[in-house]
Copies of this chain bind each other. A is one copy, B any other.
Amino acid sequence: MPETVFEVDTEAPPDEQPDPIVNRWHPDVPPVASIDPGEKVRIECMDWTGGQVNNDDSANDIRDMALDPNHHLSGPFEVTGAEPGDILIVDILDLGAFPDHEWGFNAIFDKENGGGFLTDHFPEARKSIWELDGVIASSRHIDDVRFPGCAHPGILGTAPSHELLEEWNERERALIERGPDAETAVNHETREEQPPLALPPESNDVLLGGMDDDDAEEAAEEAARTIPPRENAGNCDIKNLGRGSRVYLPVFVDGANFITGDLHFSQGDGEITFCGAIEMAGWVDLKVDVIKDGMEKMGTDYAMFKPGYMDPDFSDYVVFEGYSVDEDGKQHYKNANVGMRRACLDAIDYMTNFGYSEEQAYMILSTAPVESRIAGIVDLPNTCVTVSLPEEIFDIDINPDILADGDATGDRGGVAKTS
């Protein structure tokens, strides 16, 4: 086992961890450890909410969650010799839940506190707890579903430079300032009330690792939220970034100062419930290396990766086809988000034929290895998005021909609600 360079305690709150949690991007957060090129390390991670979710049958914790302090991450880690202009290579060797903590959660946020891709349809907080049996996930809240996950870190990124951070803040601020417009109404699920357009720096609940208090107070005013993916990769939430993957990241500061966390046991493309994948606390083993002057040599200033060869290799899919007309019949202009909405809603509707509740189906789409592809993006005004649901994840037969032959309903349990 590689040396553990970051420890967490799943029994302790975020601000009492053995190593200091970080929940913002900022160039000046001091590295918590230094790693040599070629070295392998183990990094422990809190779940992304910092332990706010319990393994129980109530969704109250989801309803009442504090969102400002998320994500609770591990790092930064300095890589010896890395300089701006280099490319950092990170091999994802393995990851898993803690031995005494082999469960994860998926949840639907309340529309007033977090929301999600389909929050208009699912406005109330709900939760499912997933049992993690080695590589197999199942949930007492969703019957007859059982699948191997492609575990991956939701977040892996390098620290931004001061210049890059400023660029982020400017462009996101500009979006907020442009204000609610047709674009927002179109793209977002909330058509009555105005959702947040972006998350500006928020000094509430900031954790900046080992940065001293005075510096931290100042830095908190400009440190970037960790929700969006950006030039440094960050919160990409890519379901295929699993064991055996090799990631190439641009380096913006001396030492690269990369951060990781937000571990997922499994995720469907889109992570549509927002809370989100099968979220877990756990550990990840990484090996790092540096390509000196990599940006110039490789002609790239963006993140890229090569997936491992260990994704679940399903082959039986039922595929749903969405296009840019929303569920109220309104035509949108080449909008892939609306296309995905429609395909997801059809997939949810389809699963109800087999006895699943809509909430269960929504969570299945968000957690299982579901493929969501932009099939056609030029056929104006209707971008076509496909959502492919693997039949292998069900213990029952969900082939469409079954429906043609007769009744397929059953009792599939129910997800956790609020009280």
Selecting from A20-28, A58-66, A86-94, A210-218, the interface stretch reads A86-94
Asked if B148 and A310 sit within 8 Å, CB to CB, the answer is: yes
- Given A238-B386, A299-B349, A315–B317 Cβ distance below 8 Å? no
Q: In whole Å, how far is A277's beta carbon from the nearest beta carbon of chain B?
A: 10
Q: Does A31 contact B (CB under 8 A)?
A: no
Q: Are B285 and A133 in contact (CB under 8 A)?
A: yes
B-chain residues with CB within 8 Å of residue A229 when the two chains form the complex: 321, 323, 376, 379, 382, 384
Q: Are B384 and A198 in contact (CB under 8 A)?
A: no
Tell me the complex Cα distance, A235–B298, Å: 38
B337 touching A175 by the CB < 8 A rule? no
**CB-CB under 8 A for A135 and B316, given A148-B309, A374-B336, A385-B374:** no
A303–B236 Cα gap in the complex (Å)?
31
Closest B-chain residue to A308, C-beta based? B148
Contact of A403 with B by CB under 8 A: yes
A337 vs chain B, min Cβ distance (A): 5
Copies of this chain assembled into the complex: 4
Chain B CB within 8 A of A367 CB: no
Asked whether any CB of chain B lies closer than 8 Å to the CB of A126, the reply is: no
- Closest chain-B Cβ to A85's Cβ sits at a distance in Å of 13
**Any B CB within 8 A of the CB of A412:** no
Q: Which residues of B contact A330 (CB under 8 A)?
A: 171, 174
A276 to B218, alpha carbons, bound, how many Å?
Answer: 51
Question: Quick check: B331 and A148 within 8 Å, CB to CB?
Answer: no
Q: How far is the CA of A323 from the CA of B157 in the complex (A)?
A: 14
Chain A contact patch, size range: 35 or more
Q: Is B350 a contact of A299 with CB atoms below 8 Å? A: yes
CB of A377 within 8 A of CB of B117, answer yes
Given contact pairs A228-B379, A376-B270, A238 touches B384 in the complex (Cβ within 8 A): yes
Complex Cα–Cα for A334 and B329 (A): 21
Contacts A313-B313, A379-B229: A337 and B334 contacting too (C-beta < 8 A)? yes
Chain B residues contacting A334 (CB-CB under 8 Å) are 187-188, 337
A135 engages B380 (CB within 8 Å): no
Interface residues of A in 328-376 (CB under 8 A from B): 329-337, 340, 346, 349-350, 352-353, 371-376
Contact A1–B99 (Cβ < 8 Å): yes
Answer whether residue A392 sits at the interface, using C-beta atoms and an 8 A cutoff: yes
Cross-chain contact of A182 among B92, B183, B309 (Cβ < 8 A): B183
Could you tell me if A270 and B304 are in contact, using CB atoms closer than 8 angstroms? no
CB atoms of B148 and A269 under 8 A apart: no
29 contacts between A and B (CB under 8 A): A1-B99, A1-B100, A87-B404, A147-B309, A148-B308, A171-B331, A182-B182, A183-B333, A188-B333, A188-B334, A195-B380, A197-B381, A228-B382, A236-B384, A238-B384, A238-B386, A240-B319, A269-B373, A270-B378, A271-B375, A297-B404, A298-B353, A300-B353, A305-B321, A313-B313, A316-B316, A334-B337, A340-B374, A371-B373
Inter-chain pairs besides A1-B100, A198-B380, 8 sampled, C-beta below 8 Å: A94-B134, A229-B384, A271-B379, A291-B404, A315-B315, A336-B337, A337-B377, A374-B385
* 4 nearest CB pairs, A to B: A94-B134, A93-B134, A1-B99, A237-B376
